[in-house]
């Protein structure tokens, strides 16, 4: 798992669900992408992310955001029969430390690796993320 969650990280925002989903039908400005996804020092990644977001139909983006508010896969996480690695971003403004604590509460043996990255952990720190995955897989073979 990478900068993810199994239960909505914004669950208490219930009354704001529909307005936020509707607002996200508009394209986020570059400053918002930098603030919440890519970090301030990632111009190329910010532009690539903006292009990717623009390529998705607005109703699809709004639907995905709506799904964020209602997801709860805690039971599935607890019942997953294999070891799990979670890559977290130290500077993640969307999925922060509270989510990591919730994941560990549901799955105490979860291996967590925190990288100095914003929300887009894999895109921001690909080599470090790959090294963490390789180390995790190798540790399972021991």
What confidence tens digit (pLDDT) does each residue in 94-106 have? Answer: 888 889 999 999 9
What is the structure's pLDDT at 37? Answer: 92
pTM: 0.86
Mean pLDDT, the chain, as a whole number? 89
What is the structure's pLDDT at 59? Answer: 81
Neighbours of 21 (CB within 10 A): 19
**Domains in the chain, start-ordered, CATH in brackets?**
11-70 (no CATH), 74-141 (3.40.50.11320)
Q: Which token pair is 106?
A: 């549901």
Q: What is the pLDDT of residues 40-87, one digit of tens each?
A: 889 999 999 999 988 988 888 778 877 888 889 999 999 999 999 999
* Bridge pairing between strands 111-115 and 85-89: parallel
What is the structure's pLDDT at 137? Answer: 97
Distance spanning both ends of the chain, measured CA to CA: 22
The rounded distance, in Å, linking the Cα atoms of 81 and 125 is 28
């Amino acid at each position: 798992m990478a900068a993810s969650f199994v239960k909505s990280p914004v669950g208490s925002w219930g009354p704001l669900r529909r307005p936020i989903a509707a607002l996200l039908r508009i394209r986020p400005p570059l400053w918002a992408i930098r603030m919440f996804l890519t970090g301030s020092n990632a111009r190329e990644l910010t532009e690539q992310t903006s292009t990717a977001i623009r390529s998705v139909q607005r109703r699809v983006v709004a639907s995905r955001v709506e799904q964020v508010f209602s997801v709860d896969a805690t039971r599935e996480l607890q019942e997953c029969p294999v070891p799990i690695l979670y890559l977290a971003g130290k500077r993640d403004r969307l999925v922060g430390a509270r989510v990591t604590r919730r994941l560990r509460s549901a799955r105490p043996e979860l291996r967590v690796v925190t990288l100095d990255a914003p929300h887009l952990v894999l895109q921001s720190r690909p080599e470090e993320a790959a090294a963490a995955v390789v180390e995790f897989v190798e540790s399972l073979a021991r």
